[in-house]
Amino acid sequence: LRDKYLGLIADAADESALEDLRVQAIGKKGEVSLAMRELGKMTPEERKEAGPRLNALKDEITSAIAAKKAGLEDAALDERLRAEWLDVTLPGRTRRMGTIHPISQVWEEVTTIFADMGFSVAEGPQIETDWYNFDALNIPGHHPARAEMDTFYMHRKDGDNRPPHVLRTHTSPVQIRHMEAHGAPCRIIAPGRVYRADYDQTHTPMFHQVEGLAIDKDISMANLKWVLEEFFTAYFGTTVKTRFRASHFPFTEPSAEVDIQCSFEGGTVKVGEGDDWLEVLGSGMVHPKVLAAASVDPDQWQGFAFGMGIDRIAMLKYGIPDLRAFFDADLRWLRHYGFGP
Ligand code: PHE
């Protein structure tokens, strides 16, 4: 009996096999228990000899089972540790995080730089009336500038004779809206989306401009030049010279197109060095008719305005040759320029 059970216990594969053996050997109807029950039928001499032997066997089996059980538990734990082993020195699994779109980054940066110079942000609707987009800016109905702007018109139903709305072609209408609402003096920028029916490497039907407007008693072109040079130097992180070229806009007089200093060596544009120039914005002194259209007295107030392409200066900063790529939502492109997830 002893050899049989000690052998079986040693070979038991798992805890439930051990439990079966325990019942078989020392359970109520187990072989050892039954043998113990036989003691009553024995003579006192026989019992004296067999009793302790059976008791010892029972103890031996009990502790053999306990030892085997502990062994099985250890083995199971070892196995689990092996399976679930974790090397905490391995680099973690990284997750790809989305980033702010480059145009939005530039938009925010532009806003911050002008805010540091005391400009606050103004907004206006992207769907504008003829009046705010053109007439109030001294662009009457017959003016060639209307045709040049490739305007998107929102068509009305037959019989609706109200003047058409347009998708604003520039951020300049925000000048009018702001002066109308807040009067002078003022110092604002108005970043936003604008629309023109145009599509090639440097034009998309939707693009972004930032308008600047500063009105006070004695604001001059000199203030404009300082503000712009300060802005470009902060934005490009290097001293940037500007060149003002006489130009014409219906809403400014005098008007200037502004170029920034750059070099074009090896097909890449570098801002702030070399002796080439790149046009980046239109500007001028706000036309008296424009002030008057916004109910600001041109005999008391004067100031400058400018309109700059946000996408244009983003392309320059990041060396991006094709504007359209900004709006393709191609993750490979975004990653290539360090923006993508
Ligand atoms: N609104 C002009 C444009 O979109 C830019 C501009 C703004 C020029 C303000 C002068 C003053 O082309």
Rounded to two decimals, the ipTM of the complex is: 0.98
Ligand 1 centre and the CA of 280: distance in Å?
Answer: 11
DSSP 61-127: HHHHHHHHHHHHHHHHHHHHHHHT---TTSPPPP-PPP---HHHHHHHHHHHHHHHTTPEE----SE
**Best of 128, 133, 227, 251 for a ligand 1 pocket test (most atoms within 8 Å of beta carbon):** 251
Please check the confidence at residue 147 and state whether its pLDDT lies above 80. Answer: no
Per-residue model confidence (pLDDT) at position 329? 87
Please check the confidence at residue 237 and state whether its pLDDT lies above 90. Answer: yes
Query: Which of the four pLDDT bands, split at 50, 70 and 90, describes residue 182?
Result: very high
DSSP 148-203: HTTPPEEPPPTT--SPPEEE-SSSTHHHHHHHHHH-SSEEEEEEEEEE-S--BTTB
Ligand 1 centre and the CA of 102: distance in Å?
Answer: 23
Query: Which of the four pLDDT bands, split at 50, 70 and 90, describes residue 296?
Result: very high
Consult the annotation and say whether 84 binds a ligand: no
41-87 per-position pLDDT tens digit: 888 888 888 888 889 889 999 999 999 999 999 998 999 998 888 88
Per-residue model confidence (pLDDT) at position 46? 87
273 vs 212, residue with greater confidence: 212
For range 241-247, the mean pLDDT: 96
Instruction: Indicate if ligand 1 lies below 6 Å from the C-beta of 173.
Output: no
**Best of 210, 249, 285, 290 for a ligand 1 pocket test (most atoms within 8 Å of beta carbon):** 249
Ligand 1 centre and the CA of 287: distance in Å?
Answer: 12
Instruction: Indicate if ligand 1 lies below 6 Å from the C-beta of 252.
Output: yes
Q: At what angle do helices 310-318 and 221-236 cross, to 10 degrees?
A: 40
Per-residue model confidence (pLDDT) at position 219? 97
pTM of the predicted protein model: 0.73
Vertex 135 angle, CA 134 and 139, to 5°: 65
Q: Whose CA is nearest to atom 7 of ligand 1?
A: 307
Q: Whose CA is nearest to atom 10 of ligand 1?
A: 283
DSSP for residue 134:
T
Which pairs from 84-93 meet CB under 8 Å and 24+ separation?
none
Please check the confidence at residue 340 and state whether its pLDDT lies above 90. Answer: no
Kindly state the percentage of the chain with pLDDT values over 90: 57
Phi, psi of 186 (to 5 degrees): -155, 160
Instruction: Indicate if ligand 1 lies below 6 Å from the C-beta of 282.
Output: yes
Per-residue model confidence (pLDDT) at position 306? 98
Please check the confidence at residue 238 and state whether its pLDDT lies above 90. Answer: yes
Instruction: Indicate if ligand 1 lies below 6 Å from the C-beta of 306.
Output: yes
Instruction: Kindly tell me the burial class for residue 297, based on how many C-beta atoms sit within 10 Å of its own C-beta (0-12, 13-18, 19 or more).
Output: exposed
Query: Which of the four pLDDT bands, split at 50, 70 and 90, describes residue 167?
Result: very high
Per-residue model confidence (pLDDT) at position 297? 97
Per-residue model confidence (pLDDT) at position 258? 97
Tokens of 81: 């540790």
Average pLDDT, the chain: 92
- Which residue in 183, 194, 185, 184 sits closest to 123, CA to CA? 194
Alpha carbons 88 and 233: distance in angstroms, whole number: 47
265 vs 241, residue with greater confidence: 241
User: What pairing do the DSSP bridges indicate for beta strands 302-309 and 276-286?
Assistant: antiparallel
What's the length of the chain? Answer: 341
User: What pairing do the DSSP bridges indicate for beta strands 127-129 and 153-154?
Assistant: unpaired
Instruction: Indicate if ligand 1 lies below 6 Å from the C-beta of 242.
Output: no
For range 182-195, the mean pLDDT: 97
Per-residue model confidence (pLDDT) at position 210? 98
Q: Are 284 and 275 in contact (CB under 8 A)?
A: no
Per-residue model confidence (pLDDT) at position 157? 84
Atom number of ligand 1 nearest to Cα 307:
7
Per-residue model confidence (pLDDT) at position 246? 97
Q: Are 251 and 135 in contact (CB under 8 A)?
A: no
